[in-house]
Amino acid sequence: MPGFDPLTIAMLAVLAVLVFFMFRNSRKRKAQQEDLRKQIVPGADVMTNFGLFGKLISIDEVAKTAELEVSPGNIVKVHSQTIAKVVDEAGVPADGEPRSVEEAMAIANREEAEREAAKNAAEPQFGERVDEAAAEVKKPARRTTKKSAE
């Protein structure tokens, strides 16, 4: 019986890792779906997969339909699986995640601008007078090395 070469063992190990992550992700996805089902109750503000916001009026588990009130008096019937997220009054998802890539980029840009503003607030502006005692910067001590003569 020939022995296993290292390449075969490595490939089997990679396959085992992939199978592990596949099962783990499917369990996580099922848990997220279960949490969403618990949050989807009549009266909740929801967002569909295609970006329609509305208040959930009713949900029929047998027919897999849901009725959303998108504006006062306007009711839309959609498939219940199109409900993607439960949102709060401001239209922000209840889990705190951004709704789109653009919104995530806007949040990141705003945070970057706040960091820059905080960093620049400590630095004096061009032409601004600075108190000499407060602006004194300690210079690192110079090291001198003596080279021995050979």
47 and 105 together in one domain: yes
- In terms of residue numbers, what domain contains 70? 41-122
46 and 117 together in one domain: yes
61 and 96 together in one domain: yes
Confidence at residue 94, expressed as pLDDT on a 0 to 100 scale: 56
CATH classification of the domain holding 112: 2.30.30
Can you give the pTM of this predicted structure? 0.45
pLDDT per residue as tens digits for the range 34-45: 888 888 888 889
The answer to whether residue 135 scores a pLDDT higher than 70 is no
109 and 58 together in one domain: yes
Single-letter code of the amino acid located at 139: K
* DSSP states of 68-137: EEEETTEEEEEEGGGEEEEB-TTS-BTT---SSHHHHHHHHHHHHHHHHHHHHHHSPPTT----HHHH--
Say if 102 falls within a structural domain.
yes
49 and 22 together in one domain: no
51 and 68 together in one domain: yes
69 and 95 together in one domain: yes
Q: Enumerate the β-bridge partners of residue 47.
A: 53, 85
Say if 137 falls within a structural domain.
no
Closest CA to 36 of 51, 46, 23, 26: 46
Say if 60 falls within a structural domain.
yes
The answer to whether residue 91 scores a pLDDT higher than 90 is no
The answer to whether residue 20 scores a pLDDT higher than 70 is yes
pLDDT per residue as tens digits for the range 101-122: 788 888 889 999 988 888 777 6
The answer to whether residue 86 scores a pLDDT higher than 60 is yes
58 and 29 together in one domain: no
98 and 34 together in one domain: no
The answer to whether residue 150 scores a pLDDT higher than 50 is no
53 and 105 together in one domain: yes
